Structure 1
Amino acid sequence: MKKSLIATTLLMVFSLPALAAEQTVTLSVPGMTCAACPITVNAALNQVDGVSSVRVRYEERDATVTFDDTKTNVEELTQATKNAGYPSSLKQSQTTQE
């Protein structure tokens, strides 16, 4: 019984990284009103721990962000843009298992 419990515990511990998912979201950032605004939005999002890529499109007034969902979440991303002066909201989300 004890060996079974230890084996199960070890299996669960080593399986945790497999549960992590890379997530890609598109944020609507309607406050971008000039061509320089995306630079600020990009910098703010890249400072969030766990973000691996950011693509900001001025014409569409949005930002597509890929991040590790074990390190950050959409709320932290939208807070980062808000703190930079550009409130945002979730437009689209996609999760992929690693």
Structure 2
Amino acid sequence: MRPLVLAWLATFALPAWAASTTVTLSVPTMDCPVCPITLKKALSKVAGVEAVTVSLDRREAIVTFDDVKTTVEALTRATRDAGYPSGLTERKP
């Protein structure tokens, strides 16, 4: 009986496995060379963000993050708070 209890406890005591997720955010209001710098800084400050690439030409940000530590909503909030509203256009696990 004891091994069964230990197995049950181990199942629920283990932390959730983090998965890196990559999203593409559309940022249509970017219109100057400083915009990508500002946007990258804002996104990089979000806990769990692992990588950020911003393209002024495509008006998008590609963000890789730990989906246990943050969410797409937190990312779009960060861009909005920096003055650049964004929306999710693509998500890759």
Normalising by structure 1, we get a TM-score of 0.88
2:5 is matched with which residue?
Answer: 5
Aligned equivalents of 1:56, 1:5: Cα separation in 2: 49
Provide the secondary structure at the position in 2 that maps to 1:32. coil
**Given residue 3 of structure 1, which amino acid in structure 2 is its aligned partner?**
P
**Given residue 92 of structure 2, which amino acid in structure 1 is its aligned partner?**
Q
Q: Tell me, which stretches of 5 or more residues in structure 1 are unaligned?
A: none
2:22 is matched with which residue?
Answer: 24
Normalising by structure 2, we get a TM-score of 0.92
1:94 is matched with which residue?
Answer: 92
Q: Give the deviation of 1:6 after TM superposition.
A: 1.9
**Percent of paired sites with the same residue:** 48
More helix as a share of residues: 1
Q: Tell me, which stretches of 5 or more residues in structure 2 are unaligned?
A: none
Aligned pair count reads 93
**Given residue 58 of structure 2, which amino acid in structure 1 is its aligned partner?**
E
